[in-house]
Amino acid sequence: MIKNNLYQKVYETVKKIPPGKVVTYGQIAKMLGTRDARRVGHALHANKDPLVPCHRVVDKSGRLAANFAFEGSKEQARRLIKEGVALTDEMHVDLNLYLWKKL
């Protein structure tokens, strides 16, 4: 029950991220009152709702998720690029340009 409640809070938070922006797992964890960014990652990995834009969440260095759904980081990159987010290499987003700080 507690796990599901945290997961729902993660999903509701991720839905607020605008297209063309990213946030980190740590930002979400901090906003939800925990320091466990890994649990945020577990919640996103368990997500089944296509309306939750999980592709907008990256790690603290801007790295894409290797275990993102379907084709891994390649699918996450495709979705971000479609929204106007440029990658610095095939696995990273420039957080100085694309980090959404309004969480």
Half-sphere exposure of 84 (CA within 13 A, CB side): 7
Catalytic member of 54, 58, 77, 80: 54
Using CA atoms, how far apart are residues 49 and 85, in angstroms rounded to an integer?
A: 22
Active site residue 54: yes
Continuous segment of H or E residues that includes residue 90: none
Q: Which residues contact 59 (CB under 8 A, 6 or more apart)?
A: 24, 25, 65
Q: Give the residues across from 57 on adjacent strands.
A: 23
By annotation, the residues acting in catalysis are: 54
